[in-house]
Amino acid sequence: MSEFAFEVALCALLERERDEIIARQLGASVHGRRIMDIVCVEPGPDFAKRVAITPHEIPDAAIESRAGVGQARYYRNCFDMHPDRARSVAERAIEIGFFERVRQGSRLYVRQTARYPDEWFGKLVGIENKPDLAVPGDLELQLRKDVSLGVFDEVILATESYVTGAHLNRIPDEVGVWRFRPETGGLEVVREPTALDPAASGVDIVDEYAGRTDMRVATAAEKARLRRRMAERAYGKGWRSFDLPPCVHGAAKTVSGADGIPYCEWKESVVNPAEECGPACPGYEPADPPEIDIEAVRDRRTPWVANPKGPRTQSGLDRFL
């Protein structure tokens, strides 16, 4: 099984078992380069207020702007950035419903449609996927980066391999370990994760060379901003952030109980269309991708709401209050 198929199968299990926002492939570093395979976002006490604003990711610059919910302000005065960039952020915030456009003469004035709920998310759990522990890679360094930075509340390694004591000795003690069997959906907790401290400062391992490691301190404020950015990205993106196969053999299958999974009838397997579909594939025959409403699937199966009614509590979200 490919790493992509392993990843979407695990996302499918998490979607069934956890009432959380699940996302794939999110940036998880303040100063360096780190992409976390899966991120689970636990709803916080203000989750319903966040859901009511918009189904889209809210730009960080819009959240930190000086636009408020009271009097409308000239958009340039809301940002400390180039006017063109400020205009772009303001227009995007208007488009997704976080800002309201107010015209005063020829100038663009904006105000927020609702106060941003800082406590809309709780714990963030990062999951690194390594189906085969025998395959070489940077797993140890990646997990050391996660523990050293401490931006997640918990970090977990998910694998299909049998986990030995030697494997456990090569990764940080704080990292939890799951053995996941995607064909059956079985999950065994080999080791529970140790809670990290996102509220404290951390050390971001930027890069590692022979005999040298480059590191930078990440302040608590920088980590808090990264956590909010990850949570927003997860909310807007979800885990079905893939295209469907543009081929006559392509299908949107229900796999491991999850709808909308890219599947190839010719290969008889789950595929990653971005890497496996195209003229290089012997079975490729161009066609329109399968039709499926991914947003409707996500709305039906997760706490995310496709069409909120505005900045007020949504029906069915009282369990998060």
Q: For 30, which DSSP code?
A: S
Query: Per-residue confidence at 313, pLDDT binned at 50, 70, 90?
Result: very low
Instruction: Find the mean pLDDT for residues 98-104.
Output: 90
Provide the whole-model pTM: 0.91
* Whole-Å CA distances, 64 to 67, 76, 85, 93: 8, 14, 14, 12
Report the percent of the chain where pLDDT is more than 90. Answer: 81
Q: Is the pLDDT of residue 161 over 90?
A: yes
Q: What is the pLDDT of residue 320?
A: 44
Query: Per-residue confidence at 317, pLDDT binned at 50, 70, 90?
Result: very low
3-47+119-237: CATH topology is Trna Endonuclease; Chain: A, domain 1 (3.40.1350)
Q: What is the pLDDT of residue 311?
A: 64
Query: Per-residue confidence at 103, pLDDT binned at 50, 70, 90?
Result: confident
Q: Is the pLDDT of residue 314 over 70?
A: no
Listed as own residue / partner, the contacts of 135-142 with beta carbons closer than 8 Å and 24 or more positions apart are 139/171, 140/170, 140/171, 141/205, 141/208, 142/34
Query: Per-residue confidence at 316, pLDDT binned at 50, 70, 90?
Result: very low
Summarize pLDDT for 249-302 with one digit per residue, the tens: 999 888 777 888 999 999 999 999 999 999 999 999 999 999 999 999 999 999
Query: Per-residue confidence at 77, pLDDT binned at 50, 70, 90?
Result: very high
- Do residues 267 and 76 make contact, with C-beta atoms less than 8 angstroms apart? no
Query: Per-residue confidence at 213, pLDDT binned at 50, 70, 90?
Result: confident
Residue with tokens 């909010």: 228
The rounded distance, in Å, linking the Cα atoms of 130 and 161 is: 9
DSSP letters spanning 299-319: HHHSS--SS--SSSPPTT-GG
Residue with tokens 């490919």: 2
Q: Is the pLDDT of residue 37 over 80?
A: yes
Q: What is the pLDDT of residue 315?
A: 38
Written as six digits, the tokens of 151 are 């931006």
Q: What is the mean pLDDT of the chain?
A: 92
Q: What is the pLDDT of residue 319?
A: 46
Query: Per-residue confidence at 119, pLDDT binned at 50, 70, 90?
Result: very high
In the chain, CATH 3.40.1350 sits at 3-47+119-237
Candidates 102, 120, 122, 123; CA nearest to 112 is 102
Strands 176-181 and 186-191, by their bridges, are antiparallel
